[in-house]
Amino acid sequence: MSRITADDVRKVAHLARLDLPEEKIATYTGQLERILEYVAHLEQVDTAGVPPTTRAVEVVNTTREDLVEPTPVREALLDQAPQREGDFFRVPKILAD
């Protein structure tokens, strides 16, 4: 006996705000049923003693010390600004006093 009915597929499509054509209902009913069968199969796997994880391969974040280093192109970058004021870009005022 199937656990997923055509009405279940219509309800899920409605909740997901999907415009599902009527001719696709039978296709998605079968696909969702196979997905549930696979999940039931996975539920039979003994996971006792297996720690929960978020990914298959552990990822380690590599960081480095944040150092301030002078750049050799600073003046060249500032010279390309439409307006320059000393060591800064001059931009139009956008906020009222």
Q: What is the pLDDT of residue 62?
A: 86
Q: What is the pLDDT of residue 2?
A: 62
Q: What is the pLDDT of residue 26?
A: 93
> What does each of the 97 residues of the chain score in pLDDT, given as a tens digit?
468 899 999 999 999 999 999 999 999 999 999 999 999 999 999 989 988 888 888 888 889 899 998 889 988 999 999 999 998 999 988 888 7
Q: What is the pLDDT of residue 10?
A: 95
Q: What is the pLDDT of residue 35?
A: 93
Neighbour-count burial for 46-82, b at 16+ CB within 10 Å, e otherwise: eeeeeeeeeeeeeeeeeeeeeeeeeeeeeeeeeeeee
In which residue are the tokens 């060591």 written?
Answer: 87
Contact 4, 29 (CB under 8 A): yes
Q: What is the pLDDT of residue 15?
A: 96
Contact 25, 49 (CB under 8 A): no
Angle between helix axes 25-43 and 6-15 (nearest 10 degrees) is 90
One-letter amino acid of 31:
Q
Q: What is the pLDDT of residue 53?
A: 83
Output phi, psi for 9, to 5 deg: -65, -40
